[in-house]
Structure 1
Amino acid sequence: MRNENSAFAATAEPLLDIETLRAETPGCEKVVHFNNAGCGLIASPVLETMLGHLRLEAEIGGYEAAALRTENVAAFHAETAALLNAEARNIAFAGSATHAYANALSAIPFQAGDVILTTRNDFISNQIAFLALRRRFGVRIVHAPDLPEGGVDVEAMAALMRGERPRLVAATQIPTNSGLIQPVAEIGRYCREYDLLYLVDACQSVGQLEVDVTEIGCDFLTATCRKFLRGPRATGFLYASDRVLAQGYEPLFIDMHGARWTAPEEYQTAATARRFEEWEMPYAAVIGSAEAVRYARGVGLPAIADRAARLSADLRKLLAGVPNVRVLDRGARLGALVTVAVEGWEPEPFKQALDARGVNSALSFREFAQFDFGVDQDVDWALRLSPHYYNTAAEVDAVVDAVRELTWTPRPARSRSSGTPGRTRR
């Protein structure tokens, strides 16, 4: 077993107080949690904040509790804005990253022949949404090519911007099926140069990396709170730039929170990104999400990003040496999602075997990544492991040992025609 700080002491700046961080993470006592790309383990301050609000709702009523906690609710917008180098007026709460993404898409008045320019490594729900827009409105979907080493070819994408003049440029910073980190800021520079609308899915990057919307240059950005931010489920947010707010972009279905009914035939849209919110909110989750963002900012995103990258790089390197395991992650820059193909096992039994050893993981399937898994790498399923800053080098070793032990006793592989078993979404 390795010394915890040995892998980080030479270059990590500053060192994190891992002992305290783990003490504030009750789940660390029960599992080796390498499924932070699904849901991070909630820290005690976040849990207590949420429970406190639920108790207040039980004692005095839901509306009354919300009225007493208006500053706590407003803190969600302020804390999230500070995390992204934005302003509170640019932030809208959403029930999920997908909900936020759909709201952003609904604000764009697509017409037949409009082009959506995207990448080959995008989130499955985004691609399905684009296909639905094509079916309903007749838009065209153009995928920029990848570089030979993986990741989008930005120069080729820029050429497509010039030639196609897309109505929307969309990119996912880190796809759900891979550790690839896409160069979203480089894409954003071309979008600004050509005055194109730019939407970024940062679901897997917010809380793991430093994400600066000014540097990226996006018009919309969506993310969840449950993953690397370690917040509650069914929470997320949408960033909307001042430009799109000023130009009047608004969701297709807007309610009494996002607009005022000013006359029998008229309404006035909210001036801020709140136009993308709905009146009803899970207030305990909103307040808990604010605390989760505050907690991450207190730990420090530079230190978080450094440690998560080091743990995942170590994990990736060690897994590459395990027989019957193939590391799938490709690209110039990789994050804290480590995906591997495992020979000789069906997906669900392999995950269940890891579960039985106290290791939390996730599965990805071909349909999650039709280009990467289907066209490029011919993979039916992959194991996804995603450590975070509160994990340890010893846990990395334990996970690798568990995978190695299991691959020594292979099981019959699932045939291509046997269907898809139960799946983990993101």
Structure 2
Amino acid sequence: MPIDVELARQDTAGCAGVTHLNNAGASLPPRQVVDAVVDHLRLEERSGGYEAAAAAAGRIEHTYDALAELIGAGRHEIALHENATRAWDMAFYGLRWQPGDRILTSRSEYASNAIAYLQTADRYGVQVELVPDDEHGQVSVPALRELVDERVKLIGITHVPTQGGLVNPAAEIGAVARAAGAVYLLDACQSIGQLPVDVREIGCDLLTAPGRKYLRGPRGTGFLYCSERLLDTLEPPFLDLSSASWTGPDSYRVRDDARRFESWESSLAGRIGLGVAVDYALGLGLPAIEARVTALAAGLRERLLALPGVTLHDRGTRQCGIVSFTVAGHDSAALVPELRAQRINVSAALLGSARWDLAERGLESLLRASVHYYNTEEELDRLCAALPAPLPG
């Protein structure tokens, strides 16, 4: 069923006051999510934090079920976190490294992931190697296949890069990882909530994502999927009384499900809100969301191509809701506050956030307009009309 855009906009208070094209940064949450978060905070206000947690236990537990349904996992394979970076760190730093182990990753990796890879290389003598892009700018699966050997411990890939609209071939990469027996870690920060994602189809062992982006959940929420295959072998880098049990004066036992990666203290209001956000997305249907988001982004690319001095920088044979571009003679980062002053929200991808990719392409920064299903054609026209005229180089 097509999405009822007007109803979605009625559910989204921010649509009345701003043209929000920064959904890859943080989407506007629907009122259902905001109400769920505020209601739980009011419950804590009236009854106390622990008591509110007991009263809302069913709603908190529901978030695990909702996320499991969203990605085709089991609820025992889901761990909740305060953000996607912490979820990714708990998975990555739980791997045990030996000198000579190899990490294969992509040129389009985000800075946080790249820094963790480089730190691990410094600590343990691990080799970090970039898989070449194919002619379309996405991960070359044939090149990946050629690079794999018995020393490859991890294939770590970003599904949708922060700096552009390409969608890496996650399932094809998963087939290579399974054949090689390598751990496959998929950063799904920008794909969860705008594309259907099924961990069984993709074949990833680990997947991480936040709540605040295309899921339209609260900030300060995220999750980790850890497949059953790794649950018995991957121990978190640190434990507490919720991820493990203190079984004797000098012994402990780690949980046998993915919650071994969690810590005890968290925002329970945020967790409830995350579950509501997932329910909202599932109610619309991920295929319908993908269809509208992809169509809006394609329409924006067409408009931008028609503007003098505007250059598109999206790559890949499959493209999604993130549109990256530059305006001749203008610093992309400086245009963000200028557009914000006109109540148009976009963001900039800077060299320091995607150095392996942007430096290779000779780019210092990009403007990033990321659409969602509640955006309209008129809002795309408004962005294009607000862009400045190109300046001579």
311, 314, 318: which one aligns with 2:303: 318
**Worse overlay, 54-63 or 361-370:** 361-370
- Aligned match of 1:84: 71
Question: 1:369 deviation in Å?
Answer: 1.8
Q: Structure 2: which amino acid aligns with 1:407?
A: A
208, 215, 218: which one aligns with 2:201: 215
Runs of 4+ aligned residues of structure 1 deviating over 3 Å after TM superposition are none
Question: 1:199 deviation in Å?
Answer: 0.4
- Encode CA deviations 1:349-394: one digit per residue, 9 max, x unaligned: 311221122110001111222232111x211111000010111111
Instruction: Find out whether 1:307 has 2:289 as its counterpart.
Output: no
Q: Is the 8 A contact 1:341 1:379 kept in 2?
A: no
- Aligned match of 2:374: 390
| Residue ranges of structure 1 left out of the alignment (5+ in a row) | 1-13, 414-426
Q: Is the 8 A contact 1:40 1:226 kept in 2?
A: yes
Question: 1:25 deviation in Å?
Answer: 0.4
Instruction: Find out whether 1:195 has 2:177 as its counterpart.
Output: no
1:124-203 matches, cutoff 5 A: 124-161=111-148, 163=149, 165-203=151-189
Alpha-carbon distance in 1 for matches of 2:369, 2:159: 18
Residue 95 of structure 2 aligns to a residue whose secondary structure is coil
Instruction: Find out whether 1:28 has 2:15 as its counterpart.
Output: yes
Q: Is the 8 A contact 2:326 2:332 kept in 1?
A: no
Q: Structure 2: which amino acid aligns with 1:296?
A: A
1:234-383 matches, cutoff 5 A: 234-245=220-231, 247-375=232-360, 377-383=361-367
382, 389, 392: which one aligns with 1:407: 389
Residue 152 of structure 2 aligns to a residue whose secondary structure is coil
Q: Is the 8 A contact 1:115 1:164 kept in 2?
A: no
Alpha-carbon distance in 2 for matches of 1:74, 1:90: 13
Q: Structure 2: which amino acid aligns with 1:323?
A: P
Q: Structure 2: which amino acid aligns with 1:199?
A: L
Q: Structure 1: which amino acid aligns with 2:300?
A: L
Of all paired residues, the percent bearing the same amino acid is 43
Alpha-carbon distance in 1 for matches of 2:259, 2:83: 15
197, 208, 212: which one aligns with 1:226: 212
Q: Is the 8 A contact 1:256 1:279 kept in 2?
A: yes
How does the TM-score come out when normalised to structure 2? 0.98
Alpha-carbon distance in 2 for matches of 1:371, 1:324: 26
Q: Is the 8 A contact 1:116 1:139 kept in 2?
A: yes
Alpha-carbon distance in 1 for matches of 2:12, 2:333: 27
Q: Structure 1: which amino acid aligns with 2:195?
A: L
Question: 1:264 deviation in Å?
Answer: 1.8
Residue 407 of structure 1 aligns to a residue whose secondary structure is coil
**Worse overlay, 187-196 or 77-86:** 187-196
Question: 1:397 deviation in Å?
Answer: 1.3
Alpha-carbon distance in 1 for matches of 2:123, 2:178: 29
Give the CA RMSD over aligned residues: 1.2
Alpha-carbon distance in 2 for matches of 1:364, 1:381: 5
Q: Structure 2: which amino acid aligns with 1:355?
A: R
